[in-house]
């Protein structure tokens, strides 16, 4: 195949489907086994220093409880897929990110830029390999299909391609130029869902973002859930199953485990909490103080929920999701 | 400038008016989204919204804060994945794509990655996100950005997303979809487009109270100036009321 152009960066994730099959054969049980455990056990068992992490889009069911626990256990030298918003800023402030294969990273969407990630990148502590959001999802899709690469028509002609590990080739069928993306098998996928059973069968309400691709492509999948339900829920409506159990390694029941992210149908984003981070993280000391309080400073997640405002705050976030409350956005005034 | 409205309100209104009813738009968060909701609430009620998180055909009521949050899928017709959104655009179903950026050049190429060298940037921006996908795959790209010399530059520090690259035919030569590319640039000073033949940026209209010279002074490259430059139509009372009271009551953008 004629290669016209190549990105200058190396592939840092696992990308060989043959190697993945071998690994699946040896390591992923097909049996219906109870995978329920605590978040501390799930993270210590399945996340290693140097792993490649994948966790979707902030604003939609991010497993914050898993992110917090990774920071609490002081995992090191992590590679992060796609990037992120608040969760990426926390991981950066904790100093545990080595490389980001960026789609979107370092921004807070409408809220501005991420102070901690910016500091880390501008001082050369985090290395960035550039891709696009869709390209990243396609790499996961290729992995999820068990194939080594996938073509796309974006990225072409830009510096984004030059700073990636993509290749531009002549399509052997149409004769036209096309961009090829290598498959991406993350070491660990973190996914938060509205409901699943003890085996890991899961339903997602609302936008799926790239979570089904993550579940299928990752070697280890840690599923955190608002609720554990009976397997009959899935047997009755199998067409509603987004993630079948055999992809999943751990099931952790943590109501509000996505706070301050949004879980469609249940609770909206906690903008007051995010504003507190944006205020504190302006300095390294402030960021450290925030981590000390909200990540290191308690024994279990229920204590955390008390600290962020308890029942009163959680009720507010639930009413907000139903448009029964006015959204407060303190960062817009600061 | 007339004090009845702000320059950001003028931008939002001018961007909204680009969109036709019964067309489709791939949209991210930010001012472009404000413009799309405004268009839906005024002249384009059947505008098909495509959100990157996978919400398609929503009837967005309140400004979402993330491209994947539940406000983006309010009354949506389909909740899919980012690959649904990407496929819709790659298949040719996305008429308009809205993007922003930190720098833009005369061919509508965009930088949203960094200022200074990539290896050690002076300022790190969020990168492509969906920007490169939108600018590569939608038919008509609309760029919404503030207008000053730091942003309108001769040479980008980093080309995140493709405009017309280095001129006529370059997109097609690079393998990008034929017939796609930048269509309008909406700024706080003017509405701009692209010359059919040279693919270079040209002035279409200046906002009320803004002179052609002022636009040229704030542009770091040679802008094509046609013989006749129109004046952008002012925002109406109705548009301003919708922006301030319904679409962005928190004043996230509209202030």
- Residue with the two structure tokens 């309108």: B152
Q: What are the extents of the domains in chain B?
A: 7-247
| A-chain residues near B80 (CB < 8 A) | 207-208
Residues 194 through 233 of chain A touching chain B, CB cutoff 8 Å: 206-213
Listed in sequence order, the residues at least 6 apart from A325 whose beta carbon sits closer than 8 Å to its beta carbon are A316, A319
Cα–Cα dist B75/B71, whole Å: 9
Q: To which H or E segment does residue A316 belong?
A: helix A310-321
Residues 291 through 330 of chain A touching chain B, CB cutoff 8 Å: 321, 323, 327-329
Closest CA to A248 of A37, A77, A102: A37
Write the DSSP symbol of residue A243: B
Q: Which portions of chain A are predicted below pLDDT 50?
A: none
Residue B1: pLDDT band (50, 70, 90) is very low
In this structure, is the dihedral angle defined by the CA atoms of residues B25, B28, B29 and B32, taken in order, positive or negative? negative
Q: How many CA atoms lie within 13 A of A163 on its CB side?
A: 24
Res B61: pLDDT: 80
- Give how far Cα A319 sits from Cα of A192, A287, A305, Å: 20, 30, 17
Tell me the mean pLDDT in the region B153-164.
Answer: 98
Res B188: pLDDT: 97
Our CA-based measurement puts residue B202 at a distance from the nearest CA of chain A, in whole angstroms, of: 23
Res B68: pLDDT: 84
Residue B243: pLDDT band (50, 70, 90) is very high
Q: Which two tokens stand for residue A43?
A: 């993270």
Q: Are A223 and A193 a contacting pair, CB within 8 Å?
A: yes
**Cβ–Cβ gap A57/B53 under 8 Å:** yes
Res B28: pLDDT: 79
* Option in B29, B54, B175 nearest A153 (CB): B175
Q: pTM score, two decimals?
A: 0.97
Residue B3: pLDDT band (50, 70, 90) is low
Closest CA to A103 of A126, A81, A132, A137: A132
- In the annotation, is B52 catalytic? yes
Cα–Cα dist B56/B215, whole Å: 37
Give the distance from CA A55 to its chain's centroid: 1
Listed in sequence order, the residues at least 6 apart from B84 whose beta carbon sits closer than 8 Å to its beta carbon are B54, B56, B78
Closest CA to A100 of A87, A115, A113: A87
Give the distance from CA B34 to its chain's centroid: 11
Least trusted range by pLDDT, from B67-71, B83-87, B101-105, B113-117: B67-71
Exposure string of B133-161, with b = 16+ CB inside 10 Å and e = fewer, is: bbbbbbbbbbbbbbbeeebbbeebbbbbb
Q: What is the DSSP string of A188-213?
A: EEEEEESEE-TT--EE--S--BTHHH
Res B15: pLDDT: 98
Res B67: pLDDT: 83
**Cβ–Cβ gap A104/B129 under 8 Å:** yes
Q: How many CA atoms lie within 13 A of A257 on its CB side?
A: 25
Choose the mutation target among A9, A107, A158, A325 for the interface with B, i.e. most B CBs under 10 Å. Answer: A158
Q: What are the extents of the domains in chain A?
A: 17-145+186-332
Closest CA to B147 of B63, B232, B23: B232
In this structure, is the dihedral angle defined by the CA atoms of residues B150, B152, B157 and B160, taken in order, positive or negative? positive
**Cβ–Cβ gap B137/A102 under 8 Å:** no
Mean residue pLDDT of chain A comes to: 97
Q: What is the DSSP string of chain B?
A: --TTS-HHHHHHHHHHHHPPTT-EEEE-SSHHHHHHHHHHHTT-TT-EEEETTSEES----S--SSTTSTTTTTT-SEE-BHHHHHHHHHHT---EEEE--SEE-TT--EE-SEES-TTS-SEE----TTHHHHHHHSSEEEEE---STTTB-SS-SS--B-SSTTSTTHHHHHTPPTT-EEEEEE-SSEEEEE-TTT--EEEEEEPTT--HHHHHHT-SSPPB--S--EEPPPPPHHHHHIIIIII-TT-SS--
Exposure string of B109-118, with b = 16+ CB inside 10 Å and e = fewer, is: bbbbbbbeeb
- Give how far Cα A147 sits from Cα of A166, A189, A202, B28, B196, Å: 16, 19, 25, 30, 41
**Cβ–Cβ gap A122/B122 under 8 Å:** yes
Residue B56: pLDDT band (50, 70, 90) is very high
- 10 Å Cβ neighbour count for A201? 26
B206 forms beta bridges with: B190, B231
Res B130: pLDDT: 95
* Option in B54, B125, B177 nearest A208 (CB): B54
Our CA-based measurement puts residue A209 at a distance from the nearest CA of chain B, in whole angstroms, of: 4
- Give how far Cα B175 sits from Cα of A69, A120, A267, B99, B109, Å: 44, 35, 43, 21, 16
Q: Are A290 and A115 a contacting pair, CB within 8 Å?
A: no
Q: What CATH topology corresponds to B7-247? A: Glutaconate Coenzyme A-transferase (3.40.1080)
Tell me the mean pLDDT in the region B88-99.
Answer: 97
Q: Are A81 and A56 a contacting pair, CB within 8 Å?
A: no
Beta strands A220-225 and A188-193 are parallel
Q: To which H or E segment does residue A45 belong?
A: helix A39-46
Q: Which two tokens stand for residue A297?
A: 């400073």
Q: Which residue did the predictor score with more confidence, A60 or B171?
A: B171
Does the A17-145+186-332 domain belong in CATH 3.40.1080.10? yes
Beta strands B96-99 and B24-27 are parallel
Q: How many CA atoms lie within 13 A of B75 on its CB side?
A: 6
- Give how far Cα B70 sits from Cα of A86, A148, B37, B232, B238, Å: 17, 34, 15, 35, 27
Res A96: pLDDT: 98
Closest CA to A70 of A50, A99, A100: A50
């Amino acid at each position: 195949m004629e290669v016209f152009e190549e990105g200058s960066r190396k592939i840092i994730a696992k990308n060989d489907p043959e190697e993945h099959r071998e690994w699946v054969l040896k390591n992923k049980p097909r049996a219906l086994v109870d995978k329920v455990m605590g978040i501390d056990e799930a993270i210590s068992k399945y996340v290693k220093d140097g792993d490649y992490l994948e966790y979707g889009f902030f604003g939609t069911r991010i497993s914050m409880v898993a992110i917090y626990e990774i920071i609490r256990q002081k995992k090191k030298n992590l590679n992060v897929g796609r990037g992120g918003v608040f969760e990426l800023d926390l991981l950066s402030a904790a100093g545990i990110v080595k490389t980001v294969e960026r789609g979107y990273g370092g921004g807070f969407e409408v809220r501005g830029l991420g102070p901690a990630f910016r500091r880390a990148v501008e001082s050369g502590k985090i290395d960035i390999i550039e891709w696009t959001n869709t390209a990243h999802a396609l790499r996961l899709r290729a992995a999820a299909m068990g194939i080594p690469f996938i073509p796309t028509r974006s990225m072409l002609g830009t510096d984004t391609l030059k700073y990636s590990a993509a290749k531009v080739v002549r399509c052997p069928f149409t004769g036209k130029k096309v961009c090829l993306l290598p498959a991406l098998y993350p070491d660990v996928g973190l996914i938060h869902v509205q409901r699943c059973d003890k085996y890991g069968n899961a339903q997602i309400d609302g936008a799926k973002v790239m979570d089904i691709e993550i579940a299928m492509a990752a070697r280890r999948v840690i599923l955190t859930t608002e609720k554990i339900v009976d397997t009959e829920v899935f047997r009755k409506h199998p067409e509603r199953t987004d993630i079948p159990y055999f992809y999943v390694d751990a099931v952790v029941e943590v109501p509000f485990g996505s706070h301050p992210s949004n879980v469609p149908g249940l609770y909206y984003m906690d903008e007051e909490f995010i504003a507190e981070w944006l205020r504190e993280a302006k300095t390294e000391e402030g960021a450290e103080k925030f981590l000390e309080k909200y990540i290191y400073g308690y024994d279990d997640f229920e204590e955390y929920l008390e600290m962020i405002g308890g029942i009163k705050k959680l009720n507010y976030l639930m009413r907000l999701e139903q448009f029964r409350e006015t959204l407060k956005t303190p960062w817009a005034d600061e | 400038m007339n004090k009845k409205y702000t320059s950001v309100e003028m931008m939002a209104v001018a961007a909204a008016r680009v969109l036709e009813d019964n067309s489709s738009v791939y949209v991210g968060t930010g001012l472009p989204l404000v413009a799309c909701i405004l268009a839906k609430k005024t002249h384009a009620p059947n505008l098909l919204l495509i959100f990157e998180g996978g919400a398609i055909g929503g009837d967005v009521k309140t400004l979402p804060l993330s491209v994947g949050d539940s406000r983006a899928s309010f009354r949506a017709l389909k909740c899919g994945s980012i690959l649904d959104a990407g496929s819709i655009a790659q298949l040719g179903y996305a008429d308009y794509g809205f993007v922003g950026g930190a720098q833009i050049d005369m061919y509508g190429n965009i930088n949203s990655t960094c200022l200074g060298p990539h290896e050690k940037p002076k300022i790190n921006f969020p990168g492509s996100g969906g920007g490169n996908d939108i600018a590569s795959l939608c038919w008509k790209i609309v760029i919404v950005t503030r207008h000053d010399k730091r942003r309108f530059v001769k040479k980008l520090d980093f080309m995140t997303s493709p405009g017309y690259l280095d001129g006529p035919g370059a997109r097609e030569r690079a393998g990008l979809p034929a017939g796609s590319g930048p269509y309008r640039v909406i700024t706080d000073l003017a509405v701009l487009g692209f010359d059919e033949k040279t693919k270079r940026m040209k002035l279409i209209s200046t906002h009320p109270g803004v002179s052609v010279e002022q636009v040229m002074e704030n542009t770091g490259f040679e802008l094509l100036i046609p013989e006749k430059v129109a004046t952008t139509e002012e925002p109406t009372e109705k548009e301003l009321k919708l922006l301030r009271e319904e679409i962005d009551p928190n004043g996230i953008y509209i202030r």
